[in-house]
Amino acid sequence: MVVAPETSVYAQNSVAIPQRTTLTGTTGAATDKQTVRLTKLRDRALKEIDRRIASLNRLTVRVNNFKKLPSAQKTTYTTKIQTEITSLTTLRAKIVADTDIETLKVDTQFVVTAYRIYAVFIPQIHLLAASDAMLESVEKMTDLSVKLESRIATAKATGNSTTTLEAALAAMKTKITEASTHATSVVTTVSALTPEGYPANKTQLEAARKELRDGRESLRSARENARTIMQGLKTMKTTTGVTPSTGSATPSTATNSAL
- 127 plus 243 within the same structural domain: yes
CB 105 within 8 A of CB 45: no
Of the chain, the percentage scoring pLDDT greater than 90 comes to 56
* CA 48, 50, 51, 56 torsion-angle sign: positive
- 96 plus 128 within the same structural domain: no
Encode pLDDT of 112-126 as tens digits: 766 667 778 889 999
Name the DSSP class of 195. Answer: G
Residue 109's pLDDT is what?
A: 87
> What's the total number of domains in the chain?
2
In a domain, 52, yes or no: yes
- 96 plus 147 within the same structural domain: no
Give buried/exposed letters for 211-245 (b at 16+ CB in 10 A, else e).
bbebbbebbebbbebbbbbbebbeebebeebbebe
- 24 plus 144 within the same structural domain: no
pLDDT surpasses 80 at 251 = no
pLDDT surpasses 60 at 129 = yes
- 217 plus 167 within the same structural domain: yes
Domain of 231 in residue numbering reads as: 122-258
In a domain, 4, yes or no: no
In a domain, 175, yes or no: yes
Residue 122's pLDDT is what?
A: 85
Encode pLDDT of 213-229 as tens digits: 999 999 999 999 999 99
Give the whole-angstrom CA distance, residue 140 versus residue 179. Answer: 12
Considering only CA atoms, which of 183, 167, 168, 155 is closest in space to residue 227? Answer: 168
- 127 plus 245 within the same structural domain: yes
- 126 plus 108 within the same structural domain: no
For range 233-258, the mean pLDDT:
53
pLDDT surpasses 60 at 13 = no
Give the whole-angstrom CA distance, residue 236 versus residue 209. Answer: 41
For range 53-77, the mean pLDDT:
90
CB 205 within 8 A of CB 190: yes
Domain boundary among 113, 135, 156: 113
- 88 plus 34 within the same structural domain: yes
- 27 plus 93 within the same structural domain: yes
Neighbouring residues of 237: CB distance < 8 A, sequence distance ≥ 6: 155, 158, 159, 160
pLDDT surpasses 60 at 37 = yes
- 151 plus 249 within the same structural domain: yes
Give the whole-angstrom CA distance, residue 219 versus residue 178. Answer: 8
- 66 plus 165 within the same structural domain: no
Encode pLDDT of 173-219 as tens digits: 999 999 999 999 999 999 888 877 888 899 999 999 999 999 999 99
For range 72-99, the mean pLDDT:
91
